[in-house]
Amino acid sequence: MKNALFLGITASLFLLGSCSSGEKKIISVEKKVAYKKLDPVQADRKLAIEVSGMSCEHACGGSIRMALKETGAVDRVSYDFETGRKTNTAYVTFDKSKISADKIISIIETINEKQFTTGKTSSTDIEETAKSSSPSTTVVTETKTSKINVDVSETSWKIPNVLSFFSHLIN
């Protein structure tokens, strides 16, 4: 009975001593999103380009669109895309006084480590009436900052000396 009581007390101390209460830490995470203001582009030219190497309209077309829009001279990029087709067509409306058709082709061919190749191209002027009726795209400059506080519990474990525990049981 005496040994059973001693064993129960020792086991309780073993469990209580093996883990300590955790210390809480607060981690602050800050996320900033900035949008660059793009001036409206007065598109006066439309370029049709055959593009090979596109596997999807969303990702591949999006990377082409972003690269061309960053020039500040391209108003719109749209596609005649069909999955599985070897060559698709990109339609680019741009301001010919700010960028040339050759420069647009060069940009497309250097995107994603030269993933895309271009083929036949054709370029036409955009009529004045169609140009004035099409809305131009403007991205508003905006910076968003959000701060998130996260509670993180830190737990430490101490392993008791098992040898001394068993030596007390034997004695």
- State the sign of the Cα–Cα–Cα–Cα dihedral 65, 68, 72, 73: negative
- Domain spans, the chain: 39-138
User: For residue range 47-89, what is the model confidence (pLDDT) as tens digits?
Assistant: 999 999 998 888 899 999 999 999 999 999 999 999 889 999 9
Radius of gyration of the CA atoms of the chain, in A: 33
Q: What is the mean pLDDT of residues 11-36?
A: 60
pTM: 0.55
Return the number of other C-beta atoms located less than 10 Å from residue 133's C-beta. 8
- CATH 3.30.70.100 for the 39-138 domain, yes or no: yes
Burial of 4-41, coded b for 16+ CB within 10 Å and e otherwise, reads eeeeeeeeeeeeeeeeeeeeeeeeeeeeeeeeeebeeb
pLDDT for 163: 72
